Amino acid sequence: MNSLLLCILVYVGFIIAYHTYGRFLGNKLFSLSKNFITPAQQINDRVDYVPTKKEILFGHHFTSIAGTGPIVGPAIGVIWGWVPALIWVFVGSIVMGAVHDLGALVISVRNQGKSIGEVTKDIVSPTSRILFLLVIFFCLVIVISIFAMVIGILFTMYPTAVFPVWMEIPIAIALGYLLYRKNMSARVLSIIAVAFMYVTVYIGTYLPISIPGVIVGSPVVTWVIVLIVYAYIASVLPVQVLLQPRDYINAHQLFFALALLFIGLAIAHPAISAPPFVSSPAGAPPIWPFLFITIACGAISGFHSLVSSGTSSKQLTNEQDARFIGYGSMLLEGALATLVIIACTAGLGDFPAWTARYADWTTASGLGAKLAAFVDGASSFLSALGIPPTLAATLLGVFIVSFAATTLDSATRIQRYIVTELADTFKIRCLANRYSATLLAVLCALLLALARPNGAGALVLWPLFGASNQLLAGLALLVITVYLRKQGKPILYTALPMIFMVSMTGWSMVLNIKDFYQTHNWLLFLIDGIIVIFVIWMIVEVIRVVLRPQRPD
């Protein structure tokens, strides 16, 4: 199979889906209106609620939801063959992930920009709200700690990426100042900012930075602590000072990197020699249900609902832009996942080269192996453009770290909202302000990251990350389904994805519980068991609330 032809077919499919199914969802199912006064316009506190141009908000939203998920997940998922991985990315993005993201954004916008967990109180029930917020809190602790850990590992793997990634901060602050204080053109500023960004990338190629292991002798742990401190500062600052302009810059440089990869693919257009299907990879769990848990962000991800309802809903100026922000960003993430699948198959070379990477589950599942498979495959595309190997590695290192960094920023900010909402519920006044709420958020994540020697604690819960993330997606789809039902709208478009995600998540969790019990991994056994209870509760809520006859007004 020619990799370029396959990529073009998938991309054309995404474009058609956006202009057909996406338009139907926006116009008919959610009835988006340009006359609706959004929370950003109504509240506009210049800290969290900030009316934002749609192209800037698109950059923030896309870079926040992408993270390393659409890179790591597909890089593992191809062990079952590139065909099932690609089908799940393509179909999942269009009829599940993008619907989920758009729906979460819309119901948050129509409820004063409250998080998806907070609006559950009015849409489903007060008890379900508390349970949902607790699930979100637990999942975000994992997200923050893991992404801090991932960035620390990436900095040690690619020291040439350190300088350009940290230089994004002063560039972003300058961009935000000139944009909001001096009212300069966003387009002109973005061109200048990205130009400066790539100057730093070139400098970083010849200026690798390695941090000493001053804390417990581990450079990764030292980086994790530095990143946690940074995440605290970024979360308490007004959104337009750092988070928003940094994501805007990242979006442009990421789009540029994607363009380079696609052009390189067009020039090289290698054949896919990897097997289309692998029924039983050595040591791997069964494809059903684990493919749908392993490849999350490239198809559907519960974390996206937290971004949609946590930060993006507070910046949306025109409700009709929700389709572009919510549905469009998810399809672009599917496009990224598609490139990753091609890089990890066609980009690695012939069948023996692919087999060497994916001989068994252990070989493919290590974090370094996941990232290296993509970097090596993508580098072969960049080499077709004549880009030197060292510069190519720096570009890809900055590419991956930038995705992870924007997710770290947004996850910390969203966790601050969740802590504040829980504090208000339980009348814990000392956690009701953004400084103390953020402190609790980052401390919990830091303790998890340092729970094991050399900072490996964040990765201890990795087996549960995919399942808990997809559980969030199922919960969000449940809330969206109930919302549509109360609005008198058809629920089939969200109910079917919800049932599928609940089924796959519940199935995988039961299998995980069995494995944790047999291996005496009592910590994961306990946590997984608690999450299964939430799944059962969700099914009960579906029966009790969704199927309950509506009372006449």
Q: What is the pLDDT of residues 411-423, one digit of tens each?
A: 898 899 889 988 9
Q: Could you write out the three-class secondary structure of 62-83?
A: HHHHHCCHHHHHHHHHHHHCHH
**Is pLDDT above 70 for 547?**
no
Dump pLDDT digits (tens) for 353-377: 888 888 888 765 566 667 778 888 8
The answer to whether residue 11 sits within a structural domain is: yes
Distances in whole angstroms, Cα of residue 88 to Cα of each of 10, 22, 24, 452, 471: 12, 18, 22, 34, 17
The answer to whether residue 96 sits within a structural domain is: yes
Question: Across residues 108-112, what is the average pLDDT?
Answer: 94
**Is pLDDT above 90 for 349?**
no
**Is pLDDT above 90 for 502?**
no
Count of structural domains within the chain: 1
Q: Which residues of 408-427 are buried (b: 16+ CB within 10 A; e: fewer)?
A: bbbbbbbbbbbbbbbbeeee
Residue 553's pLDDT band, with cuts at 50, 70 and 90, is very low
The answer to whether residue 419 sits within a structural domain is: yes
Dump pLDDT digits (tens) for 3-23: 999 999 999 999 999 999 999
The answer to whether residue 553 sits within a structural domain is: no
pLDDT of residue 524: 74
Mean pLDDT computed over every residue of the chain = 86
pLDDT of residue 498: 92
Residue 67's pLDDT band, with cuts at 50, 70 and 90, is confident
Question: Across residues 330-353, what is the average pLDDT?
Answer: 92
Please give the DSSP secondary-structure letter assigned to residue 549: P
The answer to whether residue 54 sits within a structural domain is: yes
Residue appearing with tokens 């929700």: 322
Dump pLDDT digits (tens) for 126-138: 878 888 888 888 8
Domain range for 177:
3-546
Q: What's the predicted TM-score (pTM) here? A: 0.87
Residues 6+ apart with CB under 8 A from 485: 491, 546, 550
Beta strands in 194-270 (DSSP E): none
Distances in whole angstroms, Cα of residue 47 to Cα of each of 234, 313, 434: 12, 13, 11
- State the CATH number of the domain containing residue 316: 1.20.1740.10
- Specify the 3-state DSSP secondary structure of 486: helix
Residue 390 corresponds to which tokens in the numbers above? 């060292």
Name the more confident of 322 and 190: 322
The answer to whether residue 551 sits within a structural domain is: no
Distance from C-alpha of 524 to C-alpha of 343, rounded to nearest angstrom: 33
Side-chain half-sphere exposure of 193, counting CA atoms within 13 A? 29
The answer to whether residue 306 sits within a structural domain is: yes
Dump pLDDT digits (tens) for 136-167: 888 888 888 888 888 888 898 889 999 999 99
pLDDT of residue 127: 79
pLDDT of residue 43: 93
**Is pLDDT above 90 for 277?**
yes
pLDDT of residue 545: 66
Question: Across residues 427-433, what is the average pLDDT?
Answer: 87
The answer to whether residue 552 sits within a structural domain is: no
The lowest-confidence range among 56-60, 296-300, 431-435, 547-551 is 547-551
pLDDT of residue 217: 64
Is residue 307 within 8 A of residue 473, CB to CB? The reply is: no
